[in-house]
A and B are shown apart, each in its own frame.
Chain A
Amino acid sequence: DTGVSQDPRHKITKRGQNVTFRCDPISEHNRLYWYRQTLGQGPEFLTYFQNEAQLEKSRLLSDRFSAERPKGSFSTLEIQRTEQGDSAMYLCASSLPRGQGDHEQFFGPGTRLTVL
């Protein structure tokens, strides 16, 4: 499968714990995005990487959230001191470099986070 992959697919944690999610983009894609989706809503943008550089961050990305893409390949999203309001589906997407592929974003299967 050459699509975007995410791990884990499901995560249940207790309030106050830290969690980390991983995203592996499509191999030739240098752009990577994180979104969050709550029940009945459309996805909301969190942050964007071009290669290893984090170029855009939403105000939704509070100081408890941090994202990295150290080698410009996979990315991690960490949530510290989780709160019940963090319960959501966390989606990762990737797209080709500028000038290729019309900037179409391709999404992974998501990580469903439940905070008890």
Chain B
Amino acid sequence: KQEVTQIPAALSVPEGENLVLNCSFTDSAIYNLQWFRQDPGKGLTSLLLIQSSQREQTSGRLNASLDKSSGRSTLYIAASQPGDSATYLCAVRLWGAGSYQLTFGKGTKLSVIP
């Protein structure tokens, strides 16, 4: 069974700092990995998707990397802003005919202090 772990569970940084969020998964036979943002009481916003054949994806101040062999992904946020405060979730989809479900970690709650 695929398990996804996110460390740390919570992180507080001053505005302007660069930061890294970590995600690890137990089964390396993944199809893709998605990073999401979730604001309190809200749904999920897709940030980046990395296919299993890719090493990284970038969108604005966000960069996600994938090391499938070691079962790890990182989300790098440059020049953090108070508006980045949210919970960040990673999710993986396994290879397998007919399996489209995502398996999520519990998330990292990020607070960016002005």
A-to-B contact residues, CB < 8 Å: 4, 6, 31, 33, 35, 40-45, 48, 55-56, 58, 91, 93, 95, 102-110, 112
Contacts and interface: CB of A to CB of B under 8 A. Distances in A.
Closest 9 CB pairs of A and B: A42-B104, A45-B101, A107-B44, A109-B43, A107-B43, A104-B49, A110-B43, A42-B106, A43-B104
Nearest to B36: A107
Given A42-B89, A42-B91, A104 B100 contact: no
Interface SS of chain B: helix, strand, loop or mixed? strand
Contact of A102 (B44, B49, B91, B101): B49
27 contacts: A33-B100, A33-B101, A35-B102, A41-B106, A42-B89, A42-B91, A42-B104, A42-B105, A43-B91, A43-B102, A44-B104, A55-B98, A56-B99, A56-B101, A91-B44, A93-B44, A102-B49, A103-B31, A103-B32, A103-B93, A104-B49, A105-B34, A107-B43, A107-B44, A109-B43, A110-B43, A112-B41
